[in-house]
Amino acid sequence: MTKAEKVQYVIDELENLYPETPIPLDHTNEYTLLVAVLLSAQCTDVRVNKVTPSLFALANNPFDMIKLTTEEIKTIIRPCGLSPRKSKAIYDLSHILIEKYNGEVPADIDLLEELPGVGHKTASVVMSQAFEVPAFPVDTHIHRLMYRWNLTNGKNVTQTEKDAKRLFPKELWNKIHLQIIFYGREYSPARSPRKSIDYITMKIGRQTVIEEMKD
């Protein structure tokens, strides 16, 4: 298969598997999505979704969030890990949103990246999932599968994002990045991928990866 044929194969198979792509993080508005994505750093979406209802019941907007102390926020979000840093980031970015953007989350990736605790991946997720602006946020699943499928050299997430954006049509970015995540979780885990399950990798994958996979 040529690389273009591999990409089309991935597109077709993922569309068959996941015609619908619900956003994994529960949220009610752009602000709650931003906070949820921030909390998901080094934490599973499942755990974030267990924690955020308690937080958002108290504050689902920056005006209510700054009424809490960082200590109160930290206590609620502790199960997500890195709670001292994350609680401060949530509190500080809420102040900035009020002071600079009238409490609204800016629909601009550069402005989002200026917010405390918001890196490029978090900003890309918000642009994609809150504002439907084409973006290709690269998490560990996408980084892993792009390498396994020999669609990137796997040196770093920056290169993986560039390769993903170059290979996949822009109009598919927002959907296919979620489809790849879903496939990675279900069929191609980080540890002990199996030949009998991970059929896309078996079809188009890097030979060295296939050789290391279990039956």
Where in the sequence numbering do the catalytic residues fall?
A: 121, 139
Tell me how far apart the alpha carbons of residues 184 and 23 are, in angstroms, rounded to a whole number. Answer: 15
Sign of CA dihedral 30, 33, 38, 41: negative
Question: Distances from the Cα of 116 to the Cαs of 42, 86, 92, in angstroms?
Answer: 17, 9, 7
What's 132's DSSP letter?
Answer: -
Q: Check if the beta carbon of residue 146 is closer than 8 Å to that of residue 161.
A: no
Residues constituting the chain: 215
- For helices 173-186 and 140-148, the axis angle rounded to 10 degrees is 80
